[in-house]
Structure 1
Amino acid sequence: MPLVEGVSLKLSLERWLIRHCGSWKAEGTPSFPGGGHCVDVGTRVGSQPSHCPGSSRGESTKLIKESWRGASGCRNQDCKKILNAFTSAFVSKDPCSITKEDYQPLINLVTQTVPCNKTLFWSRSKELAHQYSGIQNEMFTLEDTLLGYIADDLVWCGDPRTSEVKEEFCPYRNENCSSTATSVFWTVVSQKFAESACGTVYVMLNGSGTTAFSKASTFGSVEVFNLHPDRVHTLHAWVMHDIGGVSRDSCLGSSIKELKSIVNQRNISFLCQDDYRPARFVQCVRRPEDPACSTLM
């Protein structure tokens, strides 16, 4: 069974709990809005007061450990409930037999709400989508919300022989191990993220790959099918192409036509735009000398 090494999940969890589960108090005890639940109502994860240790996604292990030490002062019971609901989904269980129901207590405990017209999905364009949402603070990817921020780039699993959380040597998802703790988690939170979307929603796709839209992706297999037509009236696709790279697919391509058909069948309007200009500016920050960028000026 192929194995993957993880990074410090527990430290990341505690970092998140102390920073983002309500407002920060000087003594290190978060307070919780919403009457006992951890509620994220359009608040960007990763934007915390200056006296919180660390500052952004992707910080060093040293800063994560500092946050872990700070989190020891968290005495609100809901912090423990959230952590326990997460770990209980997979601890002491077969790492290849996790179910969506295992994560349901966590989903029920944490309420995620993104304002209408501000949801940004992505497929094979994670880096650019995050760069764009980081600049356009009104837009939210899944990783800008509470549960997405916890687990971004992390790997974890359980083992029937121990009650410990394993962060190293967890199995890859494959045909013999299709329900790993990590893959099922992302399926569940992606479904919830899509179900809560409203108004016009956006998806950033990669037109430099073989196909911009794939039904095998999380967006193509989970998110697009969990948009509620009574809440979402339009899906706006941005097909982005690498600066100086090859353009293999576009809004006129067959994969986008397939996406449009799926969306229209769900009674949701569809719009598509190649190389959305504001996102193109973000790409050009790193390649301002490229001819494709000079035409934007």
Structure 2
Amino acid sequence: MCHYQVYVLFVLLLAEISTKNLVTATEQNSNDIHLQAPHLSDRTESNRPPIKPSTNTPQKKIKQKVSNTKNKINPCKGTYVKTNGTTCGLKEIMIGRCYEYQFVKYPSATNQHNIKNCTALYETFESAVRYKSHCNMNMSTYKDYFDLALAGVHVINRAMFWSGTYAVTHAYSGSGLNYITLEDTLAAAMVNGLVWCGNENHTEGFDFNSCPNNCKDNRWADLAFWGLASKTFAQLAAGEIFVVLNGSQLHGRSAFRNNSYFSDFELPNFRRHGEYRVTKINALVLHSPDEKVMERCGEKSLRLLEDLITNNGFEYACKDDPEELILIMCGNQWEARECQIARRVLRQAWDTKLYGTSNSNQKSLS
């Protein structure tokens, strides 16, 4: 064997040793890292109030018990503490969110022709609720606010609705980058997660101590904002739309219900005619990891949903557990049985990508 061949073999041997050392070092470094299981959203539920079964009781103006609240101490005291009433700093938060929405989050969608005046938007909202009893609100209370905030908006082929799937739907929508949910619109983004209620006897016109959440004699008061928000968003949707439903509902709850925001406010208000009409409704039915499958496409309440949609002249399609959403569900439920199997397969594929072969000794990072 000539000196050149010996030299080449020596170089190749060194390269192999270096590669093995690099892989070993990578494994050792990886094994020292312990990560928390991923959680895609701190909020798993919307702050929309639940819809109660309707009654035939006519709406009547509620007589408020007059209390001496003018001298009652405002718990906010210029700070942003958590209270049982109106969110402290409501005005500043809403106006700040409005500017952030238009100039930070979605600057490409904002131009000189559709910029909203954030102060005017807040003042329109405030005039609807300030110094007014919460239990006297109705579905027309916030009409001017929504008309101003959503003027000229049309959501074409990207509107996504949800029922019982808040966290997964919003993770998938990407805050409006992939699809657009109600909460991704300016009108809803300004108030999402906030609490407010008027008080006719308070010097500031808001009750910062306590807000009612159950107006027994007027079910529309609790739905005044989010009911109208859902209705308005449905009227803005055009082309193909998507609704993400929960096929693993427990306690007798179905994937599609007659007392949900989708059934009461959204489905009846999709446009069937004109340029900005809805052409197709795509139902995406999710089944939570480690939960029983209660309904699939074409079964039980989903059959009823299909009939309602097609009878209204819309094209309908349904899909159980799209792959794109399975990955998101496993991101939120990392230790679920089905997800652990998927993780092992994914780990093997990634090891092949990293090292050219599946490394069965590679330990999990979690």
What TM bracket, shorter-length normalisation?
0.7 to 0.9
How many Å separate the matches in 2 of 1:6 and 1:248? 39
Q: CA deviation at 1:174?
A: 4.5
Residue 272 of structure 2 is aligned with which of 229, 246, 260?
229
Residues 289 and 337 in structure 2, CA contact (< 8 A), matched pair in contact too: no
Amino acid at match of 1:92: Y
Alignment TM-score, normalising by the size of structure 2: 0.62
How many Å separate the matches in 2 of 1:123 and 1:168? 31
How many Å separate the matches in 2 of 1:145 and 1:136? 8
Aligned to 1:267: 313
Alignment TM-score, normalising by the size of structure 1: 0.75
RMSD over equivalenced CA pairs, Å: 2.6
Q: Could you say which structure has the higher helix fraction?
A: 2
The answer to whether the aligner puts 1:33 opposite 2:112 as a matched pair is yes
In structure 2, relative to structure 1, the CA distance for the partners of 1:135 and 1:105 (3 Å cut) is closer
In structure 2, relative to structure 1, the CA distance for the partners of 1:6 and 1:246 (3 Å cut) is farther
In structure 2, relative to structure 1, the CA distance for the partners of 1:226 and 1:188 (3 Å cut) is same
The answer to whether the aligner puts 1:186 opposite 2:216 as a matched pair is no
Aligned to 2:245: 205
The answer to whether the aligner puts 1:13 opposite 2:94 as a matched pair is yes
In structure 2, relative to structure 1, the CA distance for the partners of 1:108 and 1:287 (3 Å cut) is closer
Residues 89 and 103 in structure 1, CA contact (< 8 A), matched pair in contact too: yes
Residues 286 and 320 in structure 2, CA contact (< 8 A), matched pair in contact too: yes
Residue 121 of structure 2 is aligned with which of 74, 82, 88?
82
In structure 2, relative to structure 1, the CA distance for the partners of 1:239 and 1:17 (3 Å cut) is same
Aligned to 2:330: 284
In structure 2, relative to structure 1, the CA distance for the partners of 1:5 and 1:222 (3 Å cut) is same
Of stretches 123-132 and 257-266 in structure 1, the one that deviates more from structure 2 is 257-266
1:231-250 alignment runs, 5 A limit: 231-250=277-296
In structure 2, relative to structure 1, the CA distance for the partners of 1:6 and 1:260 (3 Å cut) is farther
Q: CA deviation at 1:100?
A: 2.5
The answer to whether the aligner puts 1:103 opposite 2:183 as a matched pair is no
SS at match of 2:198: strand
Amino acid at match of 1:265: N
SS at match of 2:241: strand
Question: Once the two structures are superposed, what CA deviation does each residue of 1:127-183 show, in whole Å capped at 9, x if it has no partner?
Answer: 111111128822011111111112222221112223423354111134334233x62
SS at match of 1:100: coil
Of stretches 227-236 and 131-140 in structure 1, the one that deviates more from structure 2 is 131-140
SS at match of 2:178: coil
Amino acid at match of 2:135: C
Q: Unaligned stretches of 5+ in structure 2?
A: 1-63, 65-82, 105-109, 347-366
How many Å separate the matches in 2 of 1:264 and 1:4? 44
Question: Once the two structures are superposed, what CA deviation does each residue of 1:240-284 show, in whole Å capped at 9, x if it has no partner?
Answer: 111111222221322111111221121111111111221111111
Q: Unaligned stretches of 5+ in structure 1?
A: 25-30, 39-77
Amino acid at match of 1:13: M
Amino acid at match of 1:184: A
Residue 188 of structure 2 is aligned with which of 129, 137, 148?
148
Of stretches 4-13 and 106-115 in structure 1, the one that deviates more from structure 2 is 4-13
Aligned to 2:164: 124
Question: Once the two structures are superposed, what CA deviation does each residue of 1:3-45 show, in whole Å capped at 9, x if it has no partner?
Answer: 964544334312212212x436xxxxxx97326x52xxxxxxx
Aligned to 1:216: 259
Paired positions, count: 248
How many Å separate the matches in 2 of 1:189 and 1:168? 26
How many Å separate the matches in 1 of 2:233 and 2:224? 14
Aligned to 1:166: 207
Residues 157 and 170 in structure 1, CA contact (< 8 A), matched pair in contact too: yes
The answer to whether the aligner puts 1:176 opposite 2:217 as a matched pair is yes
